[in-house]
Amino acid sequence: MHFEQPKFEGGRFEITAMGENIFNKFEAAAAGDSGKALWAARAPYRPEPGFDLMLIPRLPKDADWREDEEAKAALDRIEAEDWVASLDRDGRQPVLRLADEWIESQGQAIRSGERGAGEFADMAAENRYAVYFWGANTTKALHIGHLRNLAVGAAIAGSLKQAGARVENRSLICDVGRSMGEAMAGVATRAGEDSGPDADEKSDHFVGFCYADYVTASKNGGLGDDGAEDSVARESTQYDDKADELMMRVLGGDQKALELWSRTRSWVVSGQRKTLASLGISFDRVIYESDYLPEVAEYMNQGLAAGTLTKRWGDDMVMYETEREELEEMPLVRSDGLPTQHMRALAYWAAADELDDVISMQVCGNEWVAHVTCRRKLIDEMGLQNGNGNGSARGGGPPTHDIFHGMVARENESISSSKKGALLIDELVEWIEDELRQNPEFAEEMARHPHPEAVPAQVALGYFLLQPTTKQVKFGKEKLLVEGKGSLGWDLARAQAHHAAAEIQGERPAEDPDYRFAVVQSEHYRVHLASAVDEFDVAPLSKYLSHFARWYREDERAPEVEAVVQPVLEQGLRGLGLEGA
């Protein structure tokens, strides 16, 4: 990017470079002609009298910047910039005060809406991304284990869109396999093959109840299907029961079974879409694993002919010997022709033509790490090629990136909807709505909120964004409506409901420490958004917004401060996919 010198015109400080912010300007001045910046700038955690930025030397450990001529020359360059009012070198570390004109120019640009929605569109312009999340089985309603996947996926997609990328939200839906047979058998057992949910019953809840009843009552013993080990163990075994019979009839083209399968799938997807709509999440493309069953047969025969795949002695399960400790044997296709999750995923990622010309990423739980690693290894060994060079650097073709998140637990037990007591997303959102309506303090705040209807979704999704992505989350709904305790959505909601009740300090906005702090903090947004775009990690952006929101709400602020803070919070909600329903 070309950095032009700022200039004063008619008493107003003008910014002449598109997309430029104070940290970019500082970096350029600190580097000079050498291209190596020996100083970094950081904003203080709270407003500080006399300075706006702390300067941190980028020197070897134990080096003294006072004895480094290049570091001192860099400070001279920085101090000479028009946007710098003063640079104090006397303390433990240098501190910098920005020019009042710069503070007021930037503040006015925010308050007037001059920056606009496309302020960050240069960061990833023309890049194309496909973000795969949701990806649940068509057997049940969505529960809070799925909620983390939705939160992470929507946030990554939101940050990429805000940065100017063309983004498609996609989902690869599991609609075939052992669990689908169990859902169909549950529906047939509970309601009959020609019956369905009552008029007042949500259709995915109906199928979920049928599915859970059948799993619990069957010889399978009620194991869950959300974890990799549970899922593969159950799919690898032939039970010769109603579920297996119905799934075999579907694969064989039996019309009656196909009708039941289609209705069951439709009921679940329709119900899940209503849940997604309540969260403000939509998908541009939905792909079904059943559409890739021809490729399953093709790749199985190819692998067996080449000796890459073998049939296991005793049950003729088609297997891949991975030579990896974490998943020594990868079961792919049962002897009756029913493919496992491993094989269905391989068929899609090795064959799908919509992976051309996009950078693809799949968001999934970290219990699937071994599956993904071995699937990639098998794709390479079989010589299967897909896409146009946007495969992973790890090998194995698309997706380009795997985004793994930790599981969600309640009382030290991972969440699975086929286990009793799983909290559904619909139930959680309804609980939040009730709390906001029935609690007098919350109701009063929602009356001041600009978009109270969006708050339940923001609270539900936002909770997961402050958590380290790869770590397990111990979830409790009582944590969601507690300010400053890790609930990002609630921090943002309460800040948006907090309105000006103080007067500006001083003769002009730049004399008010809160105003200066708010303007400088707003410049951090671009820095953290860049991290989300480059690293696909939204935690730094989430933590920044949580801190900014809590600082703003902890005291009375002037209207001028509110007019700077609120637009930043709004753009944060968009950047994290938290706009809500």
Strand partners, 410: 413
Total number of domains in the chain: 2
What is the rounded radius of gyration, in angstroms, for the C-alpha atoms of the chain? Answer: 28
- Residue 553 domain flag: yes
Range of the domain at 85: 7-98
Kindly report, residue by residue over 448-479, the tens digit of the pLDDT.
999 999 999 999 999 999 988 999 999 999 99
Which residue's structure tokens are 């309506």? 437
pLDDT value for 13: 43
Percent over 70 (pLDDT), the chain: 90
Kindly report, residue by residue over 107-150, the tens digit of the pLDDT.
999 999 888 778 899 999 989 999 999 998 999 999 999 999 99
Length of the chain: 581
227 confidence band (pLDDT: 50, 70, 90): low
pLDDT value for 45: 94
- Which candidate, 262, 168, 247, places its Cα nearest to that of 207? 262
Q: Which region among 112-116, 427-431, 569-573 has the lowest average model confidence (pLDDT)?
A: 112-116
**Arithmetic mean of pLDDT, 267-286:** 97
**Structure token pair of residue 100:** 């009042």
pLDDT value for 199: 83
- Residue 561 domain flag: yes
Last residue of a domain, which of 98, 126, 146? 98
- Residue 219 domain flag: no
**pLDDT at 417 exceeding the cut of 50:** no
- Report the mean per-residue pLDDT for the chain: 89
Last residue of a domain, which of 70, 98, 126? 98
Taking the C-alpha atoms of residue 263 and residue 558, their distance in angstroms, rounded to an integer, is 57
pLDDT value for 219: 62
- Residue 120 domain flag: no
Taking the C-alpha atoms of residue 343 and residue 232, their distance in angstroms, rounded to an integer, is 11
Say if residue 412 is exposed, middle or buried (CB neighbours under 10 Å; 0-12, 13-18, 19+). Answer: exposed
Amino acid at 232: V
Cβ-defined contacts of 257-261 (< 8 Å, 24+): 257/184, 260/184, 260/187, 260/188, 260/193, 261/175, 261/180, 261/184
Last residue of a domain, which of 66, 98, 130? 98
Q: Are 205 and 213 in contact (CB under 8 A)?
A: no
pLDDT value for 483: 78
pLDDT value for 205: 96
pLDDT value for 414: 52
pLDDT value for 5: 33
pLDDT value for 235: 84
- Residue 46 domain flag: yes
pLDDT value for 525: 96
Cis peptide leading into residue 399 (ω within 30°): yes
Q: What are phi and psi of 200, to 5 degrees?
A: -100, 10
Percent over 90 (pLDDT), the chain: 76
**Arithmetic mean of pLDDT, 320-334:** 93
Residues in CB range of 525: below 8 A, 6 or more apart: 541, 544, 568, 571, 572, 575
Say if residue 330 is exposed, middle or buried (CB neighbours under 10 Å; 0-12, 13-18, 19+). Answer: buried
Kindly report, residue by residue over 346-369, the tens digit of the pLDDT.
999 999 888 888 999 999 999 999
Name the residue with higher pLDDT: 52 or 470: 52
Strand partners, 55: 41
Cβ-defined contacts of 58-65 (< 8 Å, 24+): 65/38
Q: Are 37 and 30 in contact (CB under 8 A)?
A: yes
The H or E element containing residue 131 is strand 128-132
Q: Are 150 and 114 in contact (CB under 8 A)?
A: no
Kindly report, residue by residue over 483-500, the tens digit of the pLDDT.
777 899 999 999 999 999
Name the residue with higher pLDDT: 387 or 325: 325
Amino acid at 403: I
pLDDT value for 8: 36
pLDDT value for 248: 97
Question: Which SS3 state, helix, strand or coil, does residue 195 take?
Answer: coil
**pLDDT at 437 exceeding the cut of 50:** yes
Say if residue 535 is exposed, middle or buried (CB neighbours under 10 Å; 0-12, 13-18, 19+). Answer: exposed
Q: Are 66 and 94 in contact (CB under 8 A)?
A: no
**Within 13 A of 235's CA, how many CA atoms are on the CB side?**
28
SS (H, E, C) 362-430: EEEEHHHHHHHHHHHHHHHHHCCCCCCCCCCCCCCCCCCEEEEECCEEECCEECCCCCCCCCEHHHHHH
**pLDDT at 2 exceeding the cut of 50:** no
Taking the C-alpha atoms of residue 103 and residue 107, their distance in angstroms, rounded to an integer, is 6
**pLDDT at 223 exceeding the cut of 50:** no
Q: What are phi and psi of 524, to 5 degrees?
A: -70, -20
- Residue 508 domain flag: yes
pLDDT value for 185: 96
**pLDDT at 326 exceeding the cut of 70:** yes
pLDDT value for 395: 61
Q: At what angle do helices 178-191 and 255-278 cross, to 10 degrees?
A: 100
Burial track 39-74 (b if 16+ CB lie within 10 A, e otherwise): bebebeeebbeebbbbbebeeeeeeebeeeeebeeb
**Arithmetic mean of pLDDT, 403-416:** 75
- Starting at the earlier edge strand, list the strands of the sheet with 401-405: 285-288, 166-173, 128-132, 359-365, 401-405
Taking the C-alpha atoms of residue 497 and residue 451, their distance in angstroms, rounded to an integer, is 9
- Residue 491 domain flag: yes
Q: Are 581 and 280 in contact (CB under 8 A)?
A: yes
**Arithmetic mean of pLDDT, 52-76:** 95
pLDDT value for 157: 98
**Arithmetic mean of pLDDT, 26-50:** 93
- Residue 498 domain flag: yes
pLDDT value for 579: 87
The H or E element containing residue 310 is strand 310-311
Kindly report, residue by residue over 180-216, the tens digit of the pLDDT.
999 999 999 987 766 788 888 999 999 999 999 999 8
17 confidence band (pLDDT: 50, 70, 90): very low
CA distances from 362 to 154, 163, 276, 281, 545 (A): 12, 19, 18, 16, 25
pLDDT value for 104: 96
Kindly report, residue by residue over 498-521, the tens digit of the pLDDT.
999 888 888 899 999 999 999 999
